[in-house]
Amino acid sequence: MTERNYLYFMKLLFLLCMALQSFVPDSLDERVERLHDSIISIDTHNDFAMSLAFPDRRSTVAKGQVSFELMKEGRLDGAFFAAYQGQGPCTDAGRDNAKYLADSMLRALHRYARENRNLGEIAYCPEDIRKLKKQGKAAMLLSIENAYCLGEDISLVEHYYDMGVRMIGLTHNGNNDIADSCIDSLERHGGLSPFGFRVIQEMNRLGIIVDVSHASRKTCLQAVEASSAPIMASHSCVYNLKAIPRNLTDQEILAIAAGGGLIQISIGRYFLSILPKEKVGISHLMEHINYVVNLVGVDHVGIGSDFDGGGGIVGVENMGKMKAITRALLEEGYSSEDIAKIWGGNILRVMEAVRANARSF
Ligand SMILES: [Zn+2]
């Protein structure tokens, strides 16, 4: 073989190899990485703020599942960080204390974002999330878990909007001045209180998402009706798969979806299965996601981890493990387009709808 023929032969061989390679499927891990290059992934609930603002308070739930570093490791682009208050008495002192807790936690989150601005920043709108993704930084979205901190003062909704809050959960595990909770032995308002209806109107006017996780069935259904924008259950699962008050009935799922809203499946054993913690894994998470998809479609489902608030299952123990969910969704047969919606496309759509609605006021 002459040198010229040899070079020609080698070139042909190289082109043949390249052509063959394009027919050989990527390994699943490579597909996961490539998918995360193009999609935006957002988790709609964690309780990081409590231990950040009050590190000395004792807690029964595992901590350390949330950080900007872990978000980067797990290819999680954005997350709603909640300022949480447990429900106390609806007295002036109780309401003042709730406001003190919420304000302190929001200030602590702002401080965390400032001190770690090389890794992440606070995001106030979909454009901020997209910009931060391009910069390779985490987007911290602010939310409140339990509108108890509003007390009976409607002006505080704007106070929290000005602090950056873009989602408020109406209740925690107890009735408050705004609404009845899913976990309380007695009804107080029969759903939303008259003040609660005004709070939802004010959230609509400003552009804050209404969150019905922890709300009673009546509160949830009334909130869908009362809100002129889509609403969200930021961290709840399916009652028909695990019958606890915190999970959503088909009636609630259908109502939230009909209003254009979202059911954000939680990554917690308590919500997913009756099995012991060490036996609950991604297959249980998939059951709940598949259930909601079958009932109302892929446009109305996502992920709300509840990390640092009781979340975590085998295989997805913290934010650094989020890619395992993407892998499972691919194995389950979801398309790239579906996964893009589940991970963040749906949330961005709802954020945009809530803002557009606010502009119409
Ligand atoms: Zn919660």
> How many A from CA of 148 to the centre of ligand 1?
14
Task: Please say if the pLDDT value at position 289 is more than 90.
Answer: yes
> How many A from CA of 309 to the centre of ligand 1?
7
pLDDT reported for residue 61: 82
Question: Which is higher by pLDDT, 296 or 56?
Answer: 296
> How many A from CA of 172 to the centre of ligand 1?
7
Residue range 261-285, pLDDT digits in tens: 999 999 999 999 999 999 999 999 9
> How many A from CA of 16 to the centre of ligand 1?
56
> How many A from CA of 134 to the centre of ligand 1?
31
Where residue 15 falls among pLDDT bands split at 50, 70, 90?
A: confident
pLDDT reported for residue 78: 98
Q: What percent of the chain has pLDDT over 70?
A: 96
Fold assignment, 40-359: TIM Barrel (3.20.20)
> How many A from CA of 245 to the centre of ligand 1?
12
Q: Record the pTM.
A: 0.92
pLDDT reported for residue 251: 98
Going from N- to C-terminal start, the domains of the chain cover: 40-359
> How many A from CA of 50 to the centre of ligand 1?
12
3-state secondary structure the chain: CCHHHHHHHHHHHHHHHHHHHHHCCCCHHHHHHHHHHHCCCEEEEECHHHHHHCCCCCCCCCCCCCCHHHHHHCCCCEEEEEEECCCCCCCHHHHHHHHHHHHHHHHHHHHHHHHCCCCEEECCCHHHHHHHHHCCCEEEEEEEECHHHHCCCCHHHHHHHHCCEEEEECCECECCCCECECCCCCCCCCCECHHHHHHHHHHHHHCCEEECCCECHHHHHHHHHHCCCCCEECCCCECCCCCCCCCECHHHHHHHHHCCCEEEECCEHHHHCCCCHHHCEHHHHHHHHHHHHHHHCHHHEEECCCECCCCEEECECCHHHCHHHHHHHHHCCCCHHHHHHHHHHHHHHHHHHHHHHHHCC
> How many A from CA of 79 to the centre of ligand 1?
15
> How many A from CA of 35 to the centre of ligand 1?
29
> How many A from CA of 135 to the centre of ligand 1?
31
> How many A from CA of 121 to the centre of ligand 1?
24
Q: What percent of the chain has pLDDT over 90?
A: 89
